[in-house]
Amino acid sequence: ETGVTQTPRHLVMGMTNKKSLKCEQHLGHNAMYWYKQSAKKPLELMFVYNFKEQTENNSVPSRFSPECPNSSHLFLHLHTLQPEDSALYLCASSQADHRGELFFGEGSRLTVL
Amino acid sequence: GENVEQHPSTLSVQEGDSAVIKCTYSDSASNYFPWYKQELGKRPQLIIDIRSNVGEKKDQRIAVTLNKTAKHFSLHITETQPEDSAVYFCAALLEPETGNQFYFGTGTSLTVIP
């Protein structure tokens, strides 16, 4: 596979569940991102990893926990979410050392009941 | 951080007419401004970008202009076609020491009426 792939594409979970979103990129990039996309809001940057190191956490609640085991994989662990966390979660990657294109995955549509 | 504002939020044009979407940014350190197109149910994809040392860039029917002094940039689509219907996002890139941070506008839903 090429590009950025995200699984699962759709996820429904209760507020007490624990689940994880997975992202994998096959582009040789060294920066990976999680964005949250809600209706009528800008894409919200959640986390940035450069060379596997987390370099940004935009005041994201602790019920969202990222993990980047290597430069090709990124996870978003979800625990005790709220209904307002329902959104499309987009993973993206880019080259960290120069201004370049963000490549997005198809997204994981999360619904919290 | 950076704050990007985008207008209008919705835009309807007749096929063949032009469409213009405008964005402003707050941080003068931003130096790269991409535009992404997101079709319904699909991922955002880059359609054109402009760097801070350039005032205008054109690629066939789409063009982007940048005014660094005023801190605003615009997307222009000429001879619009139904397949141009999508949500368009502008973005600004800050490059702090900690790495690239892209900040997006709220999006413009463009409808091209055949």
Question: Is A45 in Cβ contact with B103 (below 8 Å)?
Answer: yes
Q: What tokens were used for A2?
A: 């090429």
What residues of chain B lie within 8 A of the CB of A106, using their CB?
Answer: 42-43
Chain B CB contacts of A33 under 8 Å are 102
pLDDT number for residue A95: 83
For residue A5, which of A25, A21, A34 has the smallest C-alpha distance?
A25
DSSP A43: P
The model's pLDDT over A70-109, given as tens digits with 9 standing for 90+, comes to 989 999 999 999 999 999 999 999 887 666 788 999 999 9
Say whether B102 and A90 touch across the interface (CB within 8 A). Answer: no
Residue of chain A with shortest Cα separation from B94: A99
pLDDT of residue A97: 63
Residue B53's Cβ-count burial label (10 Å; 0-12, 13-18, 19+) is exposed
State the pLDDT confidence band at B8, using cuts at 50, 70 and 90: very high
Residue B26 predicted with pLDDT over 60: yes
Q: Using omega within 30 degrees of 0 as the cis cutoff, is the peptide bond preceding A8 cis?
A: yes
pLDDT tens figures, A15-47: 888 999 999 999 999 889 999 999 878 788 899
Is A66's pLDDT higher than 90?
A: yes
**A102, A103, A106, A108: which to substitute to probe chain B, counting the most B Cβ within 10 Å?**
A102
Predicted pLDDT of residue B96 = 67
The tens digit of pLDDT for each residue in B55-109 reads 999 999 999 999 999 999 999 999 999 999 999 999 998 876 666 778 899 999 9
Position A1 pLDDT exceeds 70:
no
Judged by CB atoms closer than 8 Å, whether chains meet at B44 and A55 is answered as no
| Chain B residue closest in CA terms to A43 | B104
pLDDT band at A53 (very low <50, low <70, confident <90, very high): confident
- Cβ contacts of residue A16 below 8 Å, gap of 6+? A80
Q: Does B49 touch chain A (CB under 8 A)?
A: yes
